[in-house]
Chain A
Amino acid sequence: QEPLTASMLAAAPPQEQKQMIGERLYPLIHAMHPMLAGKITGMLLEIDNSELLLLLESPDSLHSKIEEAVAVLQAHQATETSHK
């Protein structure tokens, strides 16, 4: 699969841009966190596209971003359960 470039994204409408990035992020995240991949991808997609492209190009920053997202997600789920 050819790498996603800014010009490819620029050619697509905003909704489509998120979809294109998500389709590439998901498998990378799934390799690390199969159970949370959908949620983590959904969280990361809220980040600005330019930053997302950087994450796709550098696995290290993607990994640390994913770990950050997992921590936020777990904290969020903890507050969820405490509300109940």
Chain B
Amino acid sequence: NGSSSVNWPPEFRPGEPWKGYPNIDP
């Protein structure tokens, strides 16, 4: 479905943590 691609690519904003990184669980 198209919904997942709507927030691709994960946008980078200076000074904000980049959301694109897959959260590695500890």
Question: What residues make up the interface of A, taking CB atoms closer than 8 Å to B?
Answer: 14-15, 18-19, 22-23, 25-27, 38-43, 45-46, 73, 76, 80, 83
Contact = CB atoms under 8 A, between A and B. Distances in A.
B12 A41 contact: yes
A18 B20 contact: yes
B12 A45 contact: yes
A19 to B, nearest CB: 6
**Secondary structure of the B side of the interface?**
loop
Interface of B: 2, 5-6, 8-15, 17-18, 20-21, 24
A41 B13 CA distance: 9
Given A22-B12, A39-B11, A45-B12, A80 B21 contact: no
A80 B9 contact: no
Q: Which of B2, B8, B18 has the most CB of A within 10 A?
A: B18
A26 to B, nearest CB: 5
Contact of A45 (B5, B8, B15, B18): B18
A15 B23 CA distance: 8
